Amino acid sequence: MTLERRQTPRSRVHRGASVVFNGRQSVLDCTLRNWSDTGALVRMSDWIALPRTFEIDIASGDESLRVRQCWRRGDDVGVAFLTPGECQPVAPISLDAMRKRRQFG
């Protein structure tokens, strides 16, 4: 039996979205696989290093959510939604730093 650690129950969804970071210069396709009031499971199309906080743009509307990466297993990323008080501007990530992250995990 698996211990459930989520704060609120999640609903299954299958919605197209984009992961956005680096001053909106980096945009990656993803799929939202489940959703709750406090977070979501994001499935990336390719493995790439992500910053700790980023935005998710929902494809079906003009909604953009600020999130924090909680865990990662392969292409699946668990995220928590940030409240406005938790949102802080994130400095762009240099290309060299992204390459090192990807190379060394």
The pair of structure tokens assigned to 8 is: 């609120």
- Per DSSP (E only), the strands in 1-105 are 11-21, 26-35, 39-44, 53-58, 64-73, 76-81
Domains and CATH numbers, the chain: 11-84+92-104 (2.40.10.220)
AA letter at 97: A
Contacts of 60 (CB under 8 A, 6+ apart): 15, 16
Mean pLDDT of 91-95: 56
Question: With contact defined as beta carbons under 8 Å apart, do 6 and 41 qualify?
Answer: no
Output 101 or 36, whichever has higher pLDDT.
Answer: 36
pLDDT at 1: 47
Look up the pTM and report it. 0.71
Cα→Cα distances 88→16, 18, 58, Å: 25, 20, 21
Mean pLDDT of 66-83: 94
pLDDT grade for 97, boundaries at 50, 70 and 90:
low
Mean pLDDT of 58-72: 88
Measured CA to CA, the distance from residue 39 to residue 8 in angstroms comes to 9
Quick: pLDDT tens for 9-60.
778 988 999 999 998 899 999 999 999 989 999 999 888 889 999 999 998 7
